[in-house]
């Protein structure tokens, strides 16, 4: 980890980062109260974390089910013999229902997360993907853990392994 980033992520830096992961719309004033800094100091720290690339953005989280996307799936894509995995990933990413795409190790070289509003809709998406890859489909029943926030404890635990 770069020295610059190490300096930004002291006790206070981590607390700000954790608060913003949980609630990205907290005011600088409120953040200041929670971590014991004045408003301008909070603003300055957060600006630096953004500049350093620690914080890459803020996003509203949408309840997919509520707005009609009742079927969430995770698909593994394999490439046809001798085909390029990068191409599979690019073609898959171009499908609008694909919300996330990972290029991974292993025989199935791509994993994607797909939202659809019904089973026929999912079927249609799979048909599309099947044109250029071998598709293994898993439908999501539930999500016991969604987007856990990154904490200082996790990083310290991680670094302790490095013995």
Running DSSP on this structure, what letter comes out for residue 79?
P
Name which of 131 and 143 has its Cβ closer to a copy of itself.
143
Binding mask 29-58 for a copy of itself (x = CB under 8 A): -----------------------xxxxxxx
* 81 belongs to the binding site for a copy of itself (CB under 8 A): no
Q: Contacts with DNA in 44-83 (CB under 7 A)?
A: 44-45
CA distance 125 to 119: 10
* 134 belongs to the binding site for a copy of itself (CB under 8 A): no
Q: Do 109 and 56 meet the contact criterion of CB atoms below 8 Å apart?
A: no
CA distance 94 to 112: 12
Q: Contacts with DNA in 9-38 (CB under 7 A)?
A: 12, 27-30, 36-38
* 7 belongs to the binding site for a copy of itself (CB under 8 A): no
Phi, psi of 135 (to 5 degrees): -105, 130
β partners of residue 73: 114, 139
Q: How far is the CB of 30 from DNA (least distance, A)?
A: 6
CA distance 120 to 127: 10
* 114 belongs to the binding site for a copy of itself (CB under 8 A): no
Number of residues lying near DNA (CB under 7 A): 15
């Amino acid at each position: 980890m770069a020295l610059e980033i190490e300096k930004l992520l002291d006790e206070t830096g981590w607390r700000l980062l954790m608060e913003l992961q949980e609630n990205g719309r907290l005011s600088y004033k409120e953040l200041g109260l929670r971590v014991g800094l004045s408003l301008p100091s909070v603003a300055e720290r957060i600006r630096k974390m953004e500049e350093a690339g620690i914080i890459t953005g803020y996003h509203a989280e949408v309840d997919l089910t509520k707005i009609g996307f009742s079927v969430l799936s995770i698909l593994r894509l394999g490439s046809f013999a001798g085909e390029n995995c990068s191409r599979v990933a690019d073609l898959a990413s171009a499908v609008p229902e694909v919300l996330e795409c990972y290029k991974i190790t292993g025989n199935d070289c791509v994993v994607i997360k797909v939202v659809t509003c019904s089973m026929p809709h999912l079927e249609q998406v799979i048909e599309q993907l099947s044109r250029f890859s071998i598709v293994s489909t898993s439908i999501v029943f539930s999500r016991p853990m969604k987007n856990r926030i990154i904490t200082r404890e996790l990083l310290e635990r991680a670094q302790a392994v490095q013995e």
